[in-house]
Structure 1
């Protein structure tokens, strides 16, 4: 019977007069009061929004009416996909929908003029939209109707048809330069989006400032700048919900941006150029330029001084340039795509162009193309399908209510003044009631039925319509007219499909320089944390048992981590397939951080074990995500190098883990073994947020939520977790808390077998949706590799966990010295991992290497089993090195074999299967060895130390034996511990022997070295 004194349950009510309360108890009380307050506030706010809000009668999802979180999910986590959710809402609820607590969205062209009225009625913009791009002071983002009109009037004249005609020579000169660049690359694949952006950017900056960046003259066409703008705009969905982030980023000096986000440096330098140009115009006014450049006109307008400050004009410049370069270039790319994809429409267009432009080498003038009906219909149709701005257009009627009659239901709605109303160009443009076959490219529709223009929102409408639409249309007209009119001397189209094709991702499309360095650093840190959390705990376990006095639960400290890590491995693989790569990876880090925090604040073993389990869930996602990101981050030829860097970081963490764990537990508290993860994880999150952009090839597979749920195979996860937990409890109870023949232990073991059988049956039934895909597991090399990984990794982790206990208890080493004593094992394993990777890359001889590594592992593990109380230093160093050479060389072979032979689409599933068995093997064998360790120690104690109560030994911390027991009692206790430790080493030896036998059964075909290069590793 144990003499453990149970600590009282936490007090969950305030009792500040109780002086005996610990800071932890008081902290818990405060957290509970805060939680109750937050829940009360949330329930009250939800009730108001559902039943008492002015928009409570508007149709729409209840969840969207309650909270902004659905919108945040689609915008932030799914990268701006809320517009798809809005379409789904309209399909279900009708033309008027409440899409969030304070916003009503319309899908009815008849209401366009009501939402977007002319100048006669005041319309404001919401403040949050104004801050989305960090340009709240610009004319476009101006909130107040009156202030917007004043700012717009100052530049209105520059975008009239007459003004655009005056800059026709400038536009034609730039177009000629652009087509010259195209001719220089004839016969090659050309990146048109960069070429178009370079041209449109030079045009708008010349018109705005009288000078330009001259991107068309640069060899790279200003690529770094455009990549910076793309990165910035990819964050606008986040800025819409976290406006402080836009303000913070905009306020950073360029020197700091160069360090934190090098990819944005080009944008910041161009912003400085804009300000310099504004000051140049301000300080050197030129009357001749007042009518020829936008900012000369603004500075000489009647606007008051506060509208001519540098900050205000910098924001105006940013909007003018961004709108003038990016959206026009995007629409041009869309036009090229649609015309090449629809040869009938292209042929009809060319016939019209040939008649209007006799000279094929001539860049057409405005007068030649202005009145071409089919040509202008093509442009209109392109903008309909591919509007330059797909975000919903927000308006607020501050003075008057908005009345709406739903023709389908007959219901009338009255929106009070100040209601935020929106419409989306893409939603309206795809309305089949207005546009027949809306997803088809049919320019003729605009000629046959001019009335459909009433539903056109490509440039918005009303008093706040796009100011630059005349400029954009003229640029598109000149480019497309020249591009598709030109012929060479043979009469073949010069700019044919081959030339206009955007090629596969080349080396230039991958991040480089500081951006790549920072992202790789973040991935290395994530792998580092994973490995560190495994090894750092080993040297801390004896100290943890000192505090909690529960030696019988020490196996759970390691196995809980492995069990959840293995169980959720495949589910994370599915998550990276069906959910956004970036945000899924960040979620994994956050789960790991929460688990680490729980471990750090744990008041008892149970909370610590829960924290380890939570951390294991996050760790599984970090590992899978890290190697998945690497696959998209660098070109295939460099992938093995970067995978090796991550594997090396794993090894380094394994090396310093025991040292760090020992140093921390010796000098502070074991809790810092977990707290250390928090700042390192925070740095990783910050780097990924700032630098990593999800590559186009890594976009999640489109699937319904039902399909995503089934693909995650949560039933399979629950079953395998249930099986592993029942097994682990049986190992904990058996021979310690309950006899092995007790109904509880037998019931747990039977439950383990039955649940495991259910798991197997469920996985077989689930097929391709299973976390362990049966089709793959039945393949010989994967099945054998899984068994090998299970036992081989399990034996390694056993030795990792019990060697520090051996050194601290048997040899009396301090925690930090036990870490030093295990260095031979870790260093040799690291060397073997690197050497094995190089050997496989050069030779492809995987099966022979696997067999040899298992044989060396058996020999080394057998020698480690011979360790005794008086084993010399030279022997235990040599034994560790020999065993580590085997473990290190063979650790990553199964995953490299399976990845090298798997089809590309099967690589994530294959990787998840091997990692599943690798982690579950560690967890199950650690649990089994923990039971064997305690049972054997208790069995030997009565003969080696007959005068000592075994329960006292179990409840005494491992490093406190020398202080609790007398010198006469210690020898017998240490002998009993040695007997328990030898049993764990015996289990490790048996596992390596099984690995050796299994390695004989594998596929002995030589691997293609190139396939090995593209395969990743696990360590």
Structure 2
């Protein structure tokens, strides 16, 4: 490390670049932890239920994790801004690993749900920490070169998660689906501790905005529960859902009022005065809405209608994920070399709308090749959007607000995914049930979301054909609505202002910004 600092002071760029690459590698491992977990655990859930029982509480194993992650995300971002990024990030990793160990040791479903909440609490700080630290270390002009790496980690998680989860569960037992986090987490902890050096952070004298944090937590929890329970656990018009909606609205209105008075608000409202930041929040919400809806329904369509095996379900998304990774890498390189980025959200949103509309045309006669091409179009759109939203959002705020900008952008994407799964899921289920009832196959509707190729083979020909047509019709409606909603992202992208990225050859001070990021050399000379 002494050699690194010496070289840095001498102005030699290579050791600096190597230092950043090592840090980014550690951050990508941490990012992989957060993204793999639900995918691995989802594959192990049937075995977990068989061992622990508690089938009626099955959904809470995922819901508890999701709730804790979403609710804690903005708080982690603010704590990093107030007390220093490195210590807060390491704390979130430790909490995640403790939750993983406890989840693996759970003796009943109640314990597992509680420990998953602990795990989710730590996970809320992982993604935010990764994004904010990269924002601290790498100027936006140079950040594009790491976009492909982030997209690659996302693709690896989505493809490998189910495969790893199934292998671990079959050969080591379901508890290792949680214990597998420990070696990865230990490597990330060691690397971050050894090589991450950020500027010293003076402790703020302002009190933490506990009331704002509490109101935001209640509001987010209510929203996630509405999108999780609506149409499944409870009818959309039920008293429980209505009460949760009222609670969520009241909490968020109260949160906005409190934030205008707080000395150190959890999410400073002034960041939304920047047009680009607000537009990126909207685009991020829509990208989350679309992506997680696609991840849910594309494998279902391919298994139920095209007869694909569920064993390698992650591979079914390969055309979309590879396309997303390649395009994200190209967009990042172009952004780094030119400093231009406005074209990417426009082209990305247009491709996202086009891809969804193409996917909505799929029916029982659509080949896997055709659906793969449609998925690649959607993936290309997502590749242009997934990282540029964070890049522009971070470039739109002062460096002192890097954490809250990262957490707010992540939160909007998370909420978008919750709404996407809920709305597209409700439309899909309703259409499948209606179609099955119309064709006299109502007996299959109870399991409409679970029937795969093996189950379909056992059905009478008439019922199987009716079900395949019903799934195709449900998929058509879900993607058609998704494409219509995604138009909002395209409209928002048209209003993005091309503000020079910090770190460009000719730095300019964008409106509402601090004028530029300190160089890595300056940061390391003050490092802790």
Q: Shorter-chain-normalised TM-score: which range?
A: 0.7 to 0.9
Deviation, 1:896, is 1.7
Match of 2:484 in 1: 990
Match of 1:703 in 2: 204
Counterparts of 2:466 and 2:173, CA distance in 1: 29
Match of 2:407 in 1: 912
Counterparts of 2:153 and 2:78, CA distance in 1: 25
Which has the larger displacement, 932-941 or 585-594?
932-941
Q: Deviations over 1:703-731 (max 9, x none)?
A: 35xx3532xxx433433332333334444
Aligned partner (choices 330, 336, 347) of residue 852 of structure 1: 347
Deviation, 1:923, is 2.6
Counterparts of 2:293 and 2:464, CA distance in 1: 25
Counterparts of 1:845 and 1:513, CA distance in 2: 22
Deviation, 1:644, is 5.8
Counterparts of 2:105 and 2:425, CA distance in 1: 24
SS at match of 2:260: helix
Deviation, 1:919, is 2.0
Aligned partner (choices 387, 390, 395) of residue 895 of structure 1: 390
Contact 1:592 1:619 survives alignment (8 Å): yes
Q: 1:829 to 1:669 in 2, by over 3 A?
A: farther
Deviation, 1:815, is 3.3
Aligned partner (choices 431, 438, 450) of residue 943 of structure 1: 438
Match of 1:525 in 2: 29
Gaps of 5+ in 1: 1-221, 228-503
The reply on whether 1:756 has 2:252 as its aligned counterpart is: yes
Counterparts of 2:120 and 2:158, CA distance in 1: 17
Counterparts of 1:662 and 1:979, CA distance in 2: 30
Q: Which has the higher helix share?
A: 2
Deviation, 1:584, is 2.1
Aligned length: 507
The reply on whether 1:962 has 2:455 as its aligned counterpart is: yes
Deviation, 1:833, is 0.8
Counterparts of 1:732 and 1:636, CA distance in 2: 36
Q: Deviations over 1:568-607 (max 9, x none)?
A: 2332122223335443222111222244446556678776
Aligned partner (choices 561, 581, 590) of residue 94 of structure 2: 590
Contact 1:538 1:800 survives alignment (8 Å): no
The reply on whether 1:1003 has 2:507 as its aligned counterpart is: no
TM (norm. structure 2) is 0.79
Deviation, 1:551, is 10
Deviation, 1:872, is 0.4
The reply on whether 1:572 has 2:76 as its aligned counterpart is: yes
Match of 2:421 in 1: 926
Contact 1:563 1:919 survives alignment (8 Å): no
Deviation, 1:832, is 1.1
Match of 1:801 in 2: 296
Q: 1:722 to 1:927 in 2, by over 3 A?
A: farther
Deviation, 1:856, is 0.6
Equivalent runs, 1:614-693 vs 2, <5 Å: 614-630=118-134, 641=145, 645-646=149-150, 648-661=152-165, 672-689=176-193, 691-692=194-195
Q: 1:925 to 1:723 in 2, by over 3 A?
A: farther
The reply on whether 1:841 has 2:332 as its aligned counterpart is: no
Contact 1:658 1:822 survives alignment (8 Å): no
Q: Deviations over 1:217-257 (max 9, x none)?
A: xxxxx955999xxxxxxxxxxxxxxxxxxxxxxxxxxxxxx
Equivalent runs, 1:499-514 vs 2, <5 Å: 507=11
Match of 2:512 in 1: none
Match of 1:725 in 2: 221
Counterparts of 1:774 and 1:764, CA distance in 2: 7
Counterparts of 1:651 and 1:522, CA distance in 2: 18
Counterparts of 1:933 and 1:557, CA distance in 2: 24
Contact 2:304 2:456 survives alignment (8 Å): no
Counterparts of 1:942 and 1:880, CA distance in 2: 30
Q: 1:635 to 1:857 in 2, by over 3 A?
A: closer
Deviation, 1:788, is 1.1
Counterparts of 2:450 and 2:109, CA distance in 1: 13
Q: Deviations over 1:716-768 (max 9, x none)?
A: 343333233333444455444444433333323333322232233233333x6
Deviation, 1:883, is 0.6
Q: 1:571 to 1:223 in 2, by over 3 A?
A: closer
Q: Deviations over 1:948-973 (max 9, x none)?
A: 2755x27x955597189644554444
Match of 2:525 in 1: none
SS at match of 1:765: coil
SS at match of 1:756: helix
SS at match of 1:762: helix
Match of 1:100 in 2: none
SS at match of 1:751: helix
SS at match of 1:815: coil
Deviation, 1:810, is 3.6
Q: Deviations over 1:661-680 (max 9, x none)?
A: 46556777666544432321
Which has the larger displacement, 670-679 or 536-545?
536-545
Contact 1:546 1:960 survives alignment (8 Å): no
SS at match of 1:585: helix
Q: 1:842 to 1:627 in 2, by over 3 A?
A: same
Q: 1:573 to 1:745 in 2, by over 3 A?
A: closer
Contact 2:149 2:329 survives alignment (8 Å): no
Contact 2:428 2:477 survives alignment (8 Å): yes
Q: 1:505 to 1:627 in 2, by over 3 A?
A: farther
Deviation, 1:647, is 5.3
Match of 1:214 in 2: none
Q: Deviations over 1:836-895 (max 9, x none)?
A: 111222333322221111001100011122233442011111011011001111122222
Gaps of 5+ in 2: 509-515, 519-528
Deviation, 1:622, is 1.8
Counterparts of 2:332 and 2:175, CA distance in 1: 36
Deviation, 1:773, is 1.4
Contact 2:95 2:121 survives alignment (8 Å): yes
SS at match of 2:342: helix
Contact 2:285 2:417 survives alignment (8 Å): yes
Task: Give the greater-gyration-radius structure (CA).
Answer: 1
Contact 2:23 2:195 survives alignment (8 Å): yes
Equivalent runs, 1:289-300 vs 2, <5 Å: none
Deviation, 1:507, is 4.7
Contact 1:932 1:980 survives alignment (8 Å): yes
Contact 2:4 2:15 survives alignment (8 Å): no
Q: Deviations over 1:895-944 (max 9, x none)?
A: 22233343333333323322221222223322333444444444444334
Contact 1:546 1:957 survives alignment (8 Å): no
Equivalent runs, 1:200-349 vs 2, <5 Å: 224=3
Counterparts of 1:552 and 1:859, CA distance in 2: 39
Counterparts of 2:173 and 2:307, CA distance in 1: 19
Match of 1:12 in 2: none
Counterparts of 1:671 and 1:938, CA distance in 2: 36
Higher RCO structure (Cα 8 Å, ≥6 apart): 2
Q: 1:935 to 1:743 in 2, by over 3 A?
A: same
The reply on whether 1:778 has 2:273 as its aligned counterpart is: yes
